[in-house]
Amino acid sequence: MTASPLPVQPAQHPPGGLPGLDPAWSRLVEVPRGGRRGRHDAEVRSGSDTWHVLDNASQVDAPVRGTLLCVHGNPTWSYLWRDLLRAGAAAGWRVVAVDQLGMGFSQRTGRVHRLADRIAELGALTDVLDLTGPVLTVGHDWGGPISLGWAVDHPEQLAGVVVTNTAVYQDLDGRTPAPLRLAMTPGVLGTSTVATPAFLETTLALARPPLSREVRDAFRAPYPSADRRQAIGDFVADIPVDAEHPSRPALEALATGISALRVPALLLWGPGDPVFGEQFLADLMHRLPHADVHRYEGASHLLPEDVDVAGAVVTWLSDRFPGTAGAVVGAGAADEAASAAPELGTAVADAPFVPLWRALEERAGDDGVALVEMAPPGASGPRAVPWSLLARRVDELGRGLLGSGVRPGDRVALLVPPGADLTAVLYACLRIGAVVVVADAGLGLHGLSRAVRGARPQVVIGVPRALAAARALGWSARRIAAGPLPTGARAALGIDCTLVELADRGRAAARAGVSDAPPEPSADDDAAILFTSGSTGPAKGVAYTHAQLAAMARAVGSTYGIGPGSSLVAAFAPFALLGPALGATCASPDMDVTAPRTLTATALADAVAAVDAAVVFASPAALTSVVADAGRLDDADRRALSGVRLFLSAGAPVPPELLAAVGRIMPAAEPHTPYGMTEVLPVTDISLAEITAAGDGDGVCVGRPVAGAQVAISALDVDGAATGPAGREPGVTGEILVSAPHVMDRYDRLWLTHHAARRDAGWHRTGDVGHLDREGRLWVEGRLAHVITTPDGVLTPVGLERRAEGVDGVTRAAAVGVGPVGVQTVVLVVETTPAVRRPGLADLDLTARVRAALDVPVAAVLVVDALPTDVRHNSKIERTRLSRWAERVLAGGRTGRP
Amino acid sequence: MSARHAAGSVLPVLVTGASGMLGRAVATAILARGHAVRTFQRGAADLPGAVDERGSLTDPAAVARAVEGCTAVVHLAAKVDVTGPEAEYRAVNVEGTRTLLAAARAAGVRRFVMVSSPSVAHVGSSIVGEPAGPADPARARGPYARTKAAAELAALAADTPEMRVLAVRPHIVWGPGDTQLVARVVDRARRGRLPLLGGGTALIDTTYVDNAADALVAALQAPADAWGGSYVVTNGEPRPVRDLLAGMCRAAGVPVPARSVPPGVARVAGAAIERVWAVRPQWGEPPMTRFVAEQMSTAHWFDQRRTREALRWAPAVTLDEGFARLAAHLAPAAAAPAPTSPEGRV
């Protein structure tokens, strides 16, 4: 490429009236040419270029903490950072956002600017700008490599890096993203990028939600004609897609350079980006392993337009750079500050670490029964797996996985239904230090797919149906098949091998003299990624270390007296997986565990009889189904069930009526229910007798903290925000805080979410609301997001719902707030028996009876045929969705269905 | 009207529009607190204990006579219909208010409470928990709302240290003696001509008459920082239209409405009926107008936190208590509604 024939056009100020842009920020800066690494000849070096930059320097209150140097990509301009200029000024940070030469309102130079030029030119600009204090770079799109190039070149000034939807490395084997491939096709390139605004318009159309007309026009403002757009085309042509490209060496040097950066790094990502896909995020995470990462589910390429990037950056700055400006520069400062925070669960941190696989290894010679599957896939009757076989299988699979290239720290997604296969491969992964990614079908296919894609496993182990989905959804992971494989499926599904082959390989490896057991992971290594049920938004990944998983098993074992020699029936998958760790014999009943309602009373009785189970675990939905079906139990079934000493209902709050009904089926059993969530389980436990003793109250009584766990409350303010410090004063309603050795390590790739949940030292914020009573019992009153803020104070839903459910004819109720925060009015949405055919206002009689049952004003009572609930438990009511629906109906809108 | 002021006060409070339900309730409440009351409207107020000064707001001399010697004014008189030429509304609501403001200032009145309507600020259809916005005479809907908006702006513009002015906007006032809403609802329900628009699901916040009267008395005694502002007053109990109509019908012992008409149909019918009534005004009040159709099929409820804080007032009578009082009032003999006074407020 030679210098473009287009004439030079001077830099200029943007037009007035662009939304969110303060004209006081605009500066034109003349910079002498001749950067350190520029390739230009002497003639070019002799002149100067004029930049347009946005600079909030005059609006930052002293002392200025440092400077954010923001670099836009192609084809945007510094306008992209307007919110950050404003938010930065308020937080004491100078923000300088540049328009790259030839872009935005900077000079049209008549030259082509390659990657190396642009990095050098940015350095020349900052030499003139006199940046204040330590500098953090902020880059988007192709502004990413350029800003990071500046970062690598200025170690003495650099304090940190922030990047959003960018790439520093183009894999030569990898596919160029389709939109770019098209744009780069000879003949198309000039047309789409320069002669017409097609490339610009395509980029602007990526915003989620769509940009307003005014903002769209602001992005178009510097690029009205072909002569203003030359650099857009030059930028695309500068993407170094092959080894011979002139910018390839600069990119490779940069990719190597940033791997040496040790400063704090923040990676913000919109996973919906069709250009910078998640492989680029993975590459950046590989190069900056210490980086804080936040993926915004649902956001796309123009991330600063899609979500509040400015707020995220300011939050991160205040966390990573809490001190004064002088203390910021250099690596390590932030790390020391972070490690000074108290550890969670210090009270019981002295308990010895017993890894989950230890019990299995200890029983490798035991021919007693470890697992019983009542209806294993592909078999006609129950199958019992002895401890010795399970231990051997785990060992073989572990060796097989290692032999096939799985490394400690690799993520392995397990899309295998609960059963012996899942148990074996799970323990094998844990044993070799692979991180298991466990997404259950209870998230729904869409939720599951989104969850697994977000966790970016290197390997997917699944049944053929799951692997077909994985292939269809384009997960870029190796695929290993569990269970029998239909002929021809191997190639069609792109399957590497099967679990049977893995085990064979492992056995062969063991025989071949590689007899030393593989090294064990350490207690603080990642062990598992689990997922929340997503009842308050997209499912969140939750990362546990081996120590935390071990603590979870210990908490379950000690709370329920389960250990070696115990036998249990698990109709609730998570507990089935803990059985081997506790040394307990575990039976899975004949049911579709992904649909708890498929458990019948007789199937439960059969499983209990098979292992002479003393303990039964089930979800509330499964228990409801068992109770409904109890009439079909015969005498033998009832005899088996009468041997159960404890049954546990877990997964969602359980009405005492249901516990009592199950108690009639298992008369010798003490009904218990734990309270907890994916992030920490169990938190508390309560028996039916204790529930009865607690009586009625505001919410559901969930008992006292289990051994090792502590609970505190952060009081709500009038807007329903949990702003109070951790406290234990009885009767105060607020967000429930938990401290325990078995609290998860972190939310996975959700730095902001994690930061918000851990903002109180030593505590995890659960997002649930409740209160402690004088006896130290915890009462759960609902979700923080579902709190109702009325002018007369904050109300929580569960207590209201329990009272409404006491009204004749009401089977289930949801209490929601309608209206703006602080002015909300209470609306009850109820399911009735018999169910209504069409949603709408409850009749006057039912309305009057519900109003009479509640001690707060109720604006309206609506009836629906079925309340919307989460897929996983079919019990967590989606109150946010109901609230939107109720507001629409009660504003005179169309009724429809919630 | 603080206690200190009240003790030595012999100067009366002028209540305009005292023949209407709310005017009468306010005058009674002021009298009950030991103050003298003068009433002003075209017909007789017939209020024991009050001095009645009859006349029209369009008669400056009569207005001046009425306000002479008063220390405070509660201004309720207005033309409140839903149809008719806008000029008639303007003469009473805008010019009449200007006349009264000028006369009050000349007479040395210290406090002036302008009774307005939430409709002065709302240009859209649905109101979901919004606070009182500024009056907008250009965009408010219908001649009543437009002229009341202009009147409220005129009143607030007259707020000075010598004569403090504030505006109170009660929303849908009802109660015993209500010849407007309750009487019409009951009458139509009795004749089986009260359909629910869109199933009657829209949440509407109404005001029981005694609460509105209390709020106006509280406004007369409002602290210094409250003057110059506008305050929406309601019961703070939004209910679906269906429930409100049912409450009134049950209190009157007539069948509750069950038939539903889609709101779009009602709006179209309302528009057609308005056109016919424009040329046949002798037929009396039209059965449905677009304005009424919209009012009865979209949400109307408010953020009243500022009102309660500024006026140091909270509603004392709940909706259900209000319905019970209405039933007690209607129980002895369902007397025929008295003729509507054009200057009595709903």
- pLDDT-derived band at A514, boundaries 50, 70, 90: low
Chain A residues with CB under 8 Å of B256 CB are 844
C-alpha count within 13 angstroms, C-beta hemisphere, residue A306: 24
Encode pLDDT of A177-227 as tens digits. Answer: 555 666 666 666 777 888 888 889 999 999 999 999 999 999 999 999 999
Is A486's pLDDT higher than 80?
no
Q: How many A/B residue pairs have CB atoms within 8 Å?
A: 77
DSSP state of A739: E
Of B128, B240, B256, the CB nearest to A860: B240
Query: Is residue B216 within 8 Å of B110, Cβ to Cβ?
Result: no
Which chain A positions have a beta carbon within 8 Å of B197's beta carbon? 892
Whether A228 shows a pLDDT value over 60: the answer reads: yes
Q: Which amino acid is at A546?
A: H
Q: CA of B145 to nearest chain A CA: how many angstroms apart?
A: 21
Does the pLDDT of residue B259 top 70, yes or no?
Answer: yes
Count CB neighbours of A277 within 10 A.
18
Query: Which of B125, B242, B256 comes nearest A841 by C-beta?
Result: B242
Cβ separation of A822 and B199 shorter than 8 Å? no
Indicate the DSSP class of residue A78: G
Buried b (16+ CB within 10 A) or exposed e, A452-468: bbbbbbbbbbbbbebbb
* Higher per-residue confidence, A388 vs B267: A388
* 3-state class (DSSP) for residue A129: helix
Q: Is the pLDDT of residue A245 over 90?
A: no
Q: What is the pLDDT of residue A463?
A: 87
One-character DSSP codes across A382-406: -EEEEHHHHHHHHHHHHHHHHHTT-
In contact, A741 and A547? CB cutoff 8 Å: yes
Q: Which of A788, A827, A844 to mutate to test the interface with B (most CBs of B within 10 A)?
A: A844
Catalytic residues of B: 144
pLDDT of A176 above 80: no
Q: Note the helical H segments in B42-180.
A: 60-67, 86-89, 96-107, 142-157
- In whole angstroms, give the CA distance from residue A690 to residue A709: 19
Q: Dump strand ranges (E) for A33-128.
A: 48-55, 66-71, 93-98
CB contact under 8 A, A860 and B297: no
Q: How many C-beta atoms surround the C-beta of residue A484 within 10 A?
A: 12
- Given a cut of 60, is residue B345 above it in pLDDT? no
Other C-beta atoms lying within 10 Å of the C-beta of residue B102: 15
Q: Dihedrals φ, ψ of B169, to 5°?
A: -115, 85
What are the residues whose beta carbons fall under 8 Å from the beta carbon of B321, sequence distance 6 or more?
A: B208
- What CATH architecture is B13-252+291-329? 3-Layer(aba) Sandwich (3.40)
More confident site: A502 or A466: A502
- Touching B: A residues 732-791, CB under 8 Å: 791
Nearest to B240 among A819, A857, A890 (CB): A890
pLDDT (average), residues A225-233: 92
pTM above 0.95, yes or no: no
The answer to whether the CB of A643 falls within 8 A of the CB of A514 is no
Flag if A791 and B126 touch (Cβ within 8 Å). Answer: no
Alpha carbon distance B150, B136 (integer Å): 8
Q: Does B6 touch chain A (CB under 8 A)?
A: no
How many whole angstroms separate alpha carbon A275 and alpha carbon A176?
Answer: 8
Q: Check pLDDT > 60 for residue A831.
A: yes
> How distant is the Cα of A740 from the closest Cα of chain B, in angstroms?
42
Q: Which of residues 572-611 of A touch B (CB under 8 A)?
A: none
Confidence of residue A512 (pLDDT cuts 50, 70, 90): confident
pLDDT in the model for residue A869 = 80
Average model confidence (pLDDT) across chain B: 85
Cα atoms in the 13 Å half-sphere on the side-chain side of A738: 28
Nearest by CB to residue B126, choosing from A791, A818, A892, is A892
Contact state of A860 with B203 under an 8 Å Cβ cutoff? yes
Average pLDDT in the A535-561 region? 90
* B88–A contact, CB cutoff 8 A: no
* Per-residue model confidence as pLDDT tens digits over A29-84: 999 986 444 455 555 667 899 999 999 999 998 789 999 999 999 999 999 999 99
Least confident of A168-177, A299-308, B298-307: A168-177
In this predicted structure, the answer to whether residue A711 has a pLDDT above a threshold of 80 is: yes
What's A91's DSSP letter?
A: T
Which chain A positions have a beta carbon within 8 Å of B302's beta carbon?
Answer: 823
Residues in chain A: 898
pLDDT at A36: 47
- The pLDDT tens digits of the residues spanning A429-447 come to 999 999 999 987 667 777 8
Give the confidence band of B336 by pLDDT, cuts at 50, 70, 90.
Answer: very low
Q: pLDDT for A856-865, tens place per residue?
A: 999 999 999 9
**Three-state DSSP class for A884?**
helix
Supply the DSSP string of A101-119, one letter for each residue: TTSTTS-B-SS---HHHHH
What pLDDT was estimated at residue A573? 72
B237 touches A at CB < 8 Å: yes
List A479's β-bridge partners, or say none. A460, A495
Which residues of chain A neighbour B126 with C-beta distances below 8 Å?
891-892
Nearest by CB to A890, which of B299, B304, B305? B299
Averaged confidence pLDDT in chain A: 88
Query: Could you give the CA distance from residue A471 to residue A464 in angstroms, rounded to a whole number?
Result: 10
Q: Is the pLDDT of residue A341 over 50?
A: no
Does B126 sit within 8 Å of A891, measured CB to CB? yes
Q: Is B200 on the interface with A (CB under 8 A)?
A: yes
Measured distance CA(B135)–CA(B138) in Å, rounded: 9
Q: How far is CA A272 from CA A175, A201, A276, in A?
A: 17, 17, 9
Rounded average pLDDT over A618-639: 90
Higher pLDDT, A697 or A102: A102
CA distance B80 to chain A (A): 25
Strands A526-531 and A541-545: antiparallel
**How many C-alpha atoms does A178 have within 13 Å on its Cβ side?**
3
Q: Select from A822, A824, A891 the Cβ nearest to the Cβ of B298.
A: A891
What is the per-residue pLDDT across A275-327, written as a single tens digit (0 to 9) for each? 888 889 989 999 999 999 999 999 999 999 999 999 999 999 999 998 654 44
Domain boundaries, chain B: 13-252+291-329
Q: Work out the minimum CA distance from A212 to partner chain B, whole angstroms.
A: 22
Q: What is the ipTM of this complex?
A: 0.86
- Residue A347 has a pLDDT of 46
B201, A844: Cβ pair inside 8 Å? no
Q: Which residues from chain B sit within 8 angstroms of residue A892, using beta carbons?
A: 125-126, 197-198, 201-202, 263, 297-299
Q: Is B202 on the interface with A (CB under 8 A)?
A: yes
Collect all residues with Cβ–Cβ distance below 8 Å to B304 and sequence separation of at least 6.
A791, B131, B231, B232, B233, B234, B236
Answer yes or no: are the C-beta atoms of B202 and B172 closer than 8 Å: no
Please judge whether B303 and A857 are an interchain contact, meaning their C-beta atoms are less than 8 angstroms apart. Answer: no
Residue B278 binned pLDDT confidence (cut-offs 50, 70, 90):
low
Is residue A710 a contact partner of residue A726, using CB atoms and an 8 Å limit? no
Does the N-terminal peptide bond of residue B238 adopt cis geometry, omega within 30 degrees of 0?
Answer: no
Kindly report the number of other CB atoms within 10 A of residue A563's CB atom: 12
- Residue A771 to chain B, least CA–CA distance (Å): 27
CB contacts under 8 A, B 245-274 vs A, are: 246, 256, 263
Residues of A whose CB is below 8 A from B309: none
Q: Please report the DSSP string for B280-310 in residue order.
A: -GGG-S-S--HHHHHHTTS-EEE--HHHHHH
- Model pLDDT, residue A876: 78
DSSP H or E stretch at residue B233? strand B230-233
Would strands A135-140 and A541-545 be described as parallel, antiparallel, or unpaired?
unpaired
Neighbours of A581 (CB within 10 A): 23
Q: Could you count the other beta carbons within 10 Å of the beta carbon of residue B90? A: 17
Q: Is the pLDDT of residue B61 over 90?
A: yes
Contact B299 A892 (CB under 8 A): yes
CA distances from B30 to B12, B14, B55, B217, B227 (A): 10, 10, 21, 7, 19
- pLDDT-based confidence at B334, cuts 50/70/90? very low
Instruction: Name the residue among A339, A450, A338, A308 with its Cα closest to residue A752.
Output: A308
- Please check whether residue A315 is in contact with residue A678, taking contact to mean a CB–CB distance below 8 angstroms: no
B43 residue type, one letter: G
Q: Which amino acid is at A529?
A: I
Higher pLDDT, A825 or A466: A825
Interface test with B, best of A836, A890, A895 (most B CBs within 10 A): A890
Amino acid at B178: D
Which residue from A371, A399, A422, A430 is spatially nearest to A580, judged by alpha carbons?
A: A371
Helix (H) or strand (E) holding A279: helix A278-287
- The C-alpha atoms of residue A672 and residue A692 are separated, in whole angstroms, by 12
Q: How many CB atoms lie within 10 A of CB A189?
A: 18
* A332 pLDDT above the threshold of 60: no
Shortest Cα–Cα distance, A173 to chain B (Å):
56
Quote the CA–CA distance of A825 and A819 in Å, as a whole number: 7
pLDDT at residue A196, as a whole number: 84
- Cα–Cα distance measured from residue A734 to residue A588, given in angstroms and rounded to the nearest whole number: 38
